[in-house]
Amino acid sequence: QLQLQESGPGLVRPSETLSLTCTVSGGSIGTNYHWAWIRQPPGKGLEWIGSIYYSGSTYYNPSLKSRVTISVDTSKNQVSLKLRSVTAADTAVYYCARHDGLYVSFDYWGQGTLVTVSS
């Protein structure tokens, strides 16, 4: 059974860089899938951050594109997220998810990790 697990600091200072890792187990990340980051501010809805194909092609939410980098490490079976110059508005639960094609539904999700931006 495919499992996704997000990890990283739970607290980030304003103006710094948020860095998270999604470790995939029970399957290879280096197959014909896209891997996404999606976030959810406390008490609010879902927002797509971006997606990456296993080969490295990336697609970002235009509203976040200037601050986001998503990368993949097939040797470690991991997908990473970096979000620069964070503010309190970036406080959210961050999820990684798999989708079988850029335009295809997110079929596997990680449990999510809460990141709080605060000094």
Partner 1 sequence: QSVLTQPPSASGTPGQRVTISCSGSSSNIGSNTVNWYQQLPGTAPKLLIYTNSHRPSGVPDRFSGSKSGTSASLAISGLQSEDEADYYCATWDDSLNGWVFGGGTKLTVL
Pairing of strands 68-73, 113-117: unpaired
104 near partner 1, judged by CB under 8 A = yes
Q: Which of 12, 18, 60, 92 binds partner 1 (CB under 8 A)?
A: 60
Q: Which is nearer to partner 1, 16 or 64 (CB)?
A: 64
Does the protein bind partner 1 through residue 95 (CB under 8 A)? yes
Which lies closer to partner 1 via its Cβ, residue 27 or residue 74?
27
CB of 77 to partner 1, least distance (A): 19
Among 27, 59, 69, 77, binds partner 1 (CB under 8 A): 59
Of the pair 15, 46, the CB lying nearest partner 1 is at: 46
Question: Which are the contacts of 94, defined by CB distance < 8 A and separation ≥ 6?
Answer: 6, 20, 37, 38, 39, 49, 81, 112, 113, 114, 115
Does 7 bind partner 1 (CB under 8 A)? Our answer is no
Phi and psi at 67, nearest 5°, equal -115, -5
Q: Which two tokens stand for residue 24?
A: 């995939």
The reply to whether 107 sits near partner 1 by the rule CB under 8 A is: yes
Does residue number 2 form part of the binding site for partner 1 (CB under 8 A)?
A: no
SS3 annotation, 66-113? HHEEEEEECCCCEEEEEECCCCHHHCEEEEEEEECCCCCCEEEECCCE
List interacting residues with partner 1 (CB under 8 A).
36, 45-48, 50-51, 59-62, 95, 102-107, 109-112
